[in-house]
Amino acid sequence: MGTYINKGNSEFCDIVTHEYVDKTSLIPLINATLNSERRYSCVTRCRRFGKSMAAKMLCAYYDKSCDSRELFVGLHAEKDRSFETYLNKYSVLYLDVTSFTARPELRTNIVRTIQEKIITELKDAFPDVKYNDNSDLMDVLAAIHAATGEKFFFIIDEWDAICREFPERNKMKGDPDSVTPTILDEYVMLLRRLFKTQDSDKVFAGAYLTGILPIKKYNTESALNNFREYSMINPGKMAGALGFTHEEVETLCERHGMDMNEMERWYDGYRIGKASRMFNPYSVMRAIDEEEYRSYWTTTGAYDAVVTYIQMNYDGLKDDIIRMLSGESVYVDTTEFLNDMHIVRSKNDVLTVLIHLGYLAYDKDAYECYIPNKEVADELNNAIKATAWDALVKTIQNSKQLLAATLSGNEQAVAQGISLAHDEHTSILAYNDENSLACVLSIAYIWAKNEYVIHREYATGKGYADLVMIPRRNVSKPALVIELKFNQSTDTAIQQIKRKNYPAKIAEYTGDILLVGISYDKETKQHTCRIEREARVLPQ
């Protein structure tokens, strides 16, 4: 067993002998592509979404140097008719690019070193093959195939680590129009040499790349356009292959006595293709191990990058971040991004990067992004504090004070708080727009998301309440039903809440309920508030 060729199955053995959530459904999907024009796959997800575990699983399954049958007993892959056909049938090349990017001494020679390390092992494994003295990696692989008929399955884990770590171009001193090849250029040339030459299909039965970013684009063309890409934005048939589904997390919660509602609140929310309820697997397992719900995944990196991106001064970016923090979704065009974290040219590029990093989730049907869960929302709040967004930091502080004023029944302070949010977050042209003020109401109560489940236009059976806030489990605070009126009294707002019996709809979730009427006068641009407390209304 080697470091780069035929590593064996020991790493996957370590995974399955502990608590393993069965993700072997990926194997039949890859089997269906082998030795076909679809043999090259690039599956990208954000950090800690199970990419490396999947790569180790594929290594154990295809590696001909070991017998992995027992590792797959009872798992999904074993039931597929292709399982026996490809089980331990190939020589597997396995490259973890981060094992090289993490070594500063290799910085300038990283691509050459990668080739040399793999070539050395290949020549040791196939000593009877004749090689030319100046052979590169593809020459060596082609020579082995020509002499033995051997076909390889190549796994590259974190393929884009070099793209993320090293800049795009190095300009020559004194000549700004000239460039010298960089590490990234050399790396892309190596990948093209491996996977886009006349020998590629002869040498490789398949290739499987993992990373955070899809294949890099040069202008409008992918550097490796023969790869099928499955990303956070376009996951295709790989949608459920990485990450935990709702059903998988339910099973884990039942087994370990964990609260499913808290799991959903903290780690759910990713909509990846047809898998509409995807959880961050790293955080779920850490919460089970620690028996505590808190941020785990967001401590594993990328924080500095997020701060850099969200403070970029692109028009509308701050407004979109505020809207998402208040629970809304915003439109994003993901098509122009060049899949390069160093080339970010617009608000859409920033939002697209954050989707790939996992800080935003993406609804492909609506072309919208949003904040998936509390873990990510907390991290974005922390990132905002580290930026120059003083106004947004103040908005969050004002929201905390507004909630306190609402719960204490301070009507004047609530009216002032809503008026302040209205002034700060509504343009002059849209100042008197009813929908605009309704959105501002959500923004004004951003802080409440920490303790409440917030619903806009909440269906009650007899109409829609403008804003309903239901306390989360173990939060001993009243629910809030907020009704907004234009050019009508706050009494009218309270009466509508009572007449349509909005509280009856939420009484099963909570104890006391605060009825909050907000009135806005379009002529005077003044806000007023009235608050009443209503005892628990038992459901009929």
**Both 362 and 454 in a single domain?**
no
In a domain, 2, yes or no: no
Q: Looking at residue 434, what is its pLDDT?
A: 63
- Whole-number Å distance between alpha carbons of 69 and 60: 9
Q: Which of 193, 216, 238 is the last residue of a domain?
A: 238
**Both 68 and 187 in a single domain?**
yes
Q: Which of 354, 388, 422 is the last residue of a domain?
A: 388
In a domain, 447, yes or no: yes
**Encoded tokens for 4:** 């780069």
In a domain, 540, yes or no: no
pLDDT in tens, 224-278: 889 999 999 999 999 989 999 999 999 999 999 999 999 999 999 999 988 878 9
Q: Which of 519, 529, 479, 476 minimizes the C-alpha distance to 502?
A: 479
| CATH number of 524's domain | 3.40.1350
Q: Looking at residue 206, what is its pLDDT?
A: 98
Can you tell me the mean pLDDT for 403-408?
A: 95
**Both 372 and 486 in a single domain?**
no
Q: Looking at residue 173, what is its pLDDT?
A: 42
Number of continuous H segments (helices) and E segments (strands) in the chain: 22, 20
Q: Which of 382, 274, 269 minimizes the C-alpha distance to 329?
A: 269
Does residue 331 carry a pLDDT above 80?
yes
Can you tell me the mean pLDDT for 157-180?
A: 65
- Whole-number Å distance between alpha carbons of 309 and 340: 13
**Both 15 and 78 in a single domain?**
yes
Can you tell me the mean pLDDT for 482-486?
A: 88
> Cβ(458)–Cβ(467) under 8 Å?
yes
Q: Which residues pair with 94 in a beta bridge?
A: 155
Contacting residues for 75 by C-beta, under 8 A, at least 6 apart: 22, 24
Q: Which residues pair with 93 in a beta bridge?
A: 5, 154
Q: Looking at residue 252, what is its pLDDT?
A: 97
From the number of C-beta atoms within 10 Å of its C-beta (0-12, 13-18, 19+), residue 410 rates as middle
Backbone angles phi, psi at 25, to 5 degrees: -65, -15
Q: What percent of the chain has pLDDT over 90?
A: 57
- Whole-number Å distance between alpha carbons of 470 and 405: 17
pTM (global) more than 0.75: yes
**Encoded tokens for 161:** 């680590």
Can you tell me the mean pLDDT for 10-15?
A: 96
**Both 148 and 186 in a single domain?**
yes
Q: Looking at residue 538, what is its pLDDT?
A: 46
pLDDT in tens, 296-326: 876 655 667 777 888 787 888 888 888 888 8
Q: Looking at residue 540, what is its pLDDT?
A: 46
**Both 411 and 504 in a single domain?**
yes
Can you tell me the mean pLDDT for 393-422?
A: 92
pLDDT in tens, 183-213: 888 998 999 999 999 999 999 999 999 999 8
DSSP structural state of residue 294: S
**Both 399 and 451 in a single domain?**
yes
Q: In 365-518, which residue ranges form alpha helices assigned H by DSSP?
A: 374-385, 390-408, 411-425, 434-444, 490-499, 502-506
Q: Looking at residue 502, what is its pLDDT?
A: 72
3-state secondary structure of 326: coil
pLDDT in tens, 112-161: 999 999 999 999 999 999 999 889 999 999 999 999 999 999 999 999 99
From the number of C-beta atoms within 10 Å of its C-beta (0-12, 13-18, 19+), residue 417 rates as buried
Helix, strand, coil % over all residues of the chain, rounded to 5: 45, 20, 35
**Both 284 and 313 in a single domain?**
no
Mean pLDDT of the chain: 87
Instruction: State the pLDDT confidence band at 391, using cuts at 50, 70 and 90.
Output: confident
- Whole-number Å distance between alpha carbons of 83 and 76: 10
Can you tell me the mean pLDDT for 9-20?
A: 94
List of E strands, 280-344: 330-331
Q: Which has the higher per-residue pLDDT, 220 or 450?
A: 450
In a domain, 93, yes or no: yes
Q: How far is CA 66 from CA 42, 92, 126, 231, 465, in A?
A: 25, 11, 17, 31, 63
In a domain, 539, yes or no: no
pLDDT in tens, 341-362: 888 899 999 999 999 999 999 9
Q: Looking at residue 322, what is its pLDDT?
A: 83
Pairing of strands 40-44, 228-230: parallel
In a domain, 186, yes or no: yes
Q: Which of 189, 239, 227, 224 minimizes the C-alpha distance to 37?
A: 227
**Both 397 and 488 in a single domain?**
yes
Does residue 176 carry a pLDDT above 80?
no
- Whole-number Å distance between alpha carbons of 334 and 348: 6
Can you tell me the mean pLDDT for 522-526?
A: 87
DSSP structural state of residue 529: E
Q: Which residues pair with 454 in a beta bridge?
A: 469
144-146-148-151 Cα dihedral, nearest 10 degrees: 70
Q: Looking at residue 441, what is its pLDDT?
A: 83
**Both 124 and 217 in a single domain?**
yes
Q: Looking at residue 285, what is its pLDDT?
A: 96
Q: Which of 449, 477, 292, 312 minimizes the C-alpha distance to 376?
A: 449
SS (H, E, C) 193-233: HHHCCCCHHHHEEEEEEEECCCCCEECCEECCCCCEEECCC
3-state secondary structure of 480: strand
The number of distinct structural domains making up the chain is 4
Does residue 44 carry a pLDDT above 80?
yes
Q: Looking at residue 509, what is its pLDDT?
A: 63
In a domain, 4, yes or no: no
Q: Looking at residue 431, what is its pLDDT?
A: 56
Q: Which of 336, 371, 388 is the last residue of a domain?
A: 388
Task: Supply the range of the domain harboring residue 340.
Answer: 303-388
In a domain, 228, yes or no: yes
Does residue 528 carry a pLDDT above 90?
yes
**Both 129 and 249 in a single domain?**
no
**Both 282 and 353 in a single domain?**
no
| Run of H or E residues at 125 | helix 110-125
User: Which range, of 134-138, 465-469, 476-480, averages the lowest pLDDT?
Assistant: 465-469
